[in-house]
Chain A
Amino acid sequence: MRRIFIGIVLLLALSLMTFFLFFASPVDVTRFACGKNCTPEKRATTEKALGYDKPVLEQWTDFLKGIVVGRDYPDDPELQAAAPDVVTHCAAPCFGYSQVNAQTVNQLIKEAAPVSVSLALMAVFIWVLLGVLFGLLAAVTKGSLIDRGIVGLTLVVYAFPTFFVAIFLLKYVAIKWQWLPFPQYETIAEGGIGGWLTNLILPATTLALFYLAGYVRITRAFVLESLSEDYIRTATAKGLAPRKVLFKHALRAALTPLVTMIGLDFASLLGGAIITETVFSYHGLGALAVRANVSYDLPVLIGLLLLAGAFVILANIVVDVLYAYIDPRVRLD
């Protein structure tokens, strides 16, 4: 309970900070929201419609109010009565309105989020599976050629920039050798689970390869550490088979630090993978953020930042709760 409360306070602080940061920037938001044929009058209307004429703090409270009860854009009761068509209602929780896209931020996020979530899910699956597997293999063959090969190879892969790996996979696997179709995001409804998975393989692999090296090394280090513990000697002295000692006793102990890392990495990935999404032309949250950035679409950026922050805070809470399940010595207060 305390954790959730702290999480909410953190989110409030984050939103306040982003608000002030954006308004402190030299970019004139209204100018961009107003469009090409901007006249001073039109500009004033736009400013009023978006509420940019109000003080920053008031805009912030309006924003918070929007999250709780929803808002209308523009927030003008007279206009609402006279011409309800031009007023967009943004239901709670409302994260703002993008004048550039003429859509609510919620709508934009709703379209982009499934792409990023699918990508993150698939990527986390690949890198955790391979990372733990190779990490274990490296740990049990410590010092051998296999161990050095695994650690060295994942490090080499890690050293390549993401865009290089992405373009490499795209060019060779998809285009030249045609092992996989050219990836285009399909929802499960469109392509079925098979189509959804096939299209995700390349971009998810790109992301996973970046995280793989870290997970191999962490798994290897923690398994080696727990293998030198006294309770491993006890387990061996009982007559347990080596495989059982490794999986039931050593890996279980290495799980705690792994869960922390997985939780946080997965959460930050949920906020969007900018480079990978861009190279593969996936319209996820990362790509949305890039577009919002180039078009100075502040409401979208604020919404995305808050969303990413919320993911990280939520992941922290989930990890804390998981701890109590993994380690009986941890009891939540």
Chain B
Amino acid sequence: MTTPFLSVQDLKVHFPTPDGIVKATDGLSFTLEKGRTLGIVGESGSGKSVSSSAILGLHRKTSAQVSGQILLEGTDLLQISDEQMRRKRGAEVAMIFQDPLSAMHPYYTVGNQISEAYRVHHSVSKKAARTRTIEMLDRVGIPQPDRRVDDYPHQFSGGMRQRAMIAMALINNPSLLIADEPTTALDVTVQAQILDLLQDLQREFESAVIIITHDLGVIAEMADEVLVMYAGRAVEYGMAKELMTHPEMPYTWGLLSSVPDVAGDTSAKLIPIPGSPPSLLNTPSGCAFHPRCTHSAKVQGDLCRTVMPELVPGTRTESHLKRCHLANPDAIYEQEVLPEIAPDLVEER
């Protein structure tokens, strides 16, 4: 077996606080190959962003305890020195953030900030960096890039700013791109454009992409593989197609039921997940999702409340992993959940 391009093993990010240890990420494992896209889904506070920031080494050593392994092409990013990590940041691993307005410095021009990213990793003249910046701005679809390069972030529209952020992230041809909620702060019409752009660029640069979102629509559009996170852990992990059509974990069902289907059957109910995400200071015993799970009664005895289920292959394929005690989740989904959220789909069958 060849070593995967990116392999995250048992990643833990803990924040010690006066009230106890906040386990933002608690034992996360996944792998990702070049040219593939992994979607990480979950509610806010499920540890999606914290995990991806750990890959870039963005957590301060004074406030966070990061353990486990993050192997990028065989190198453990948690073992290398700060300086070695700094050289990789922006060059091999780049990141796009949620809100492009606050993610850009208001006092520097867009061009200045993008070429700064280039010049950190390439010893070139200011002029050469500027030329390269204009090239990238043009590539991400900013009109009149040779003029807009001298604009400040506040002179850009939201979509433009996100394009500029993408240009900044891709200017060094990173092999791994992490997009943290890249479209959340944008208008819906702009969202599609940005996603298209990301897909185009991924094909062009052949990079691996991790896209973090709470929007299953984005996942359906972009991801090859999906990782569903809840309370700092993976609760379901598999190929996007398989996982979206045959989810085996009630939390994923909940996520699917909360997405409106505009084009399809509008009579379908939107069913919100009851309750709110658990506190990461003391996560519920057993399965972290059990207090909000409407299907836990189908499990024998007290299992959901007392025993944390392992992440094991589901009922259909080996590569589809789930963390749930339910014995026949696929059947429950087909018979109970699907008729509620997509009655038209059931009829077709």
- Give A residues with C-beta under 8 Å from B: 229-231, 233-241, 249, 252-253, 326-329
Contact = CB atoms under 8 A, between A and B. Distances in A.
Contact of A230 (B87, B99, B168): B99
A240 B86 CA distance: 7
Contacts, number: 68
A237 to B, nearest CB: 5
11 contacts: A234-B103, A237-B58, A237-B97, A238-B89, A238-B117, A238-B120, A239-B91, A239-B120, A240-B120, A253-B107, A327-B107
B102 A329 contact: no
B97 A234 contact: yes
B105 interface: yes
Contacts of A237: 56, 58, 89-90, 94-95, 97
- Chain A residues touching B, majority SS: helix
Contacts of A238: 89-90, 116-117, 120, 168
B90 A239 contact: yes
B105 A235 contact: yes
Contacts of B154: 328-329
Give the most central of B107, B117, B168: most A CB within 10 Å.
B107
B126 interface: no
Given A236-B58, A237-B89, 5 more contacts: A229-B102, A230-B103, A237-B97, A252-B105, A328-B106
A329 B117 contact: no
Contacts of B165: 234
A231 B116 CA distance: 13
Nearest to B101: A230
B214 to A, nearest CB: 18
Give the most central of A229, A237, A253: most B CB within 10 Å.
A237
A170 B178 CA distance: 61
Given A238-B116, A238-B117, A231 B86 contact: no
A249 B86 CA distance: 17
Q: How large is the interface on B (under 10, 10 to 19, 20 to 34, 35 or more residues)?
A: 20 to 34
Nearest to A226: B105
A239 B99 CA distance: 20
Contacts of B113: 234
B244 to A, nearest CB: 30
B164 to A, nearest CB: 11
Nearest to A143: B62
B102 A231 contact: yes
B205 interface: no
Interface string B77-89: 0000000001111
Q: Which 9 A-B pairs have the closest CB atoms?
A: A239-B90, A239-B89, A230-B102, A238-B90, A238-B117, A231-B105, A328-B152, A230-B103, A237-B95
B121 A239 contact: yes
A327 B109 CA distance: 11
A235 B277 CA distance: 31
A230 B121 CA distance: 21
A233 B90 CA distance: 12
Contacts of A249: 105
Give the most central of A235, A238, A241, A329: most B CB within 10 Å.
A238
A328 B120 CA distance: 24
A269 B97 CA distance: 45
Give the most central of A231, A234, A249, A252: most B CB within 10 Å.
A234
B89 A236 contact: yes
B103 A233 contact: yes
Contacts of B121: 239
B283 to A, nearest CB: 26
B163 to A, nearest CB: 15
A138 to B, nearest CB: 15
A231 B120 contact: no
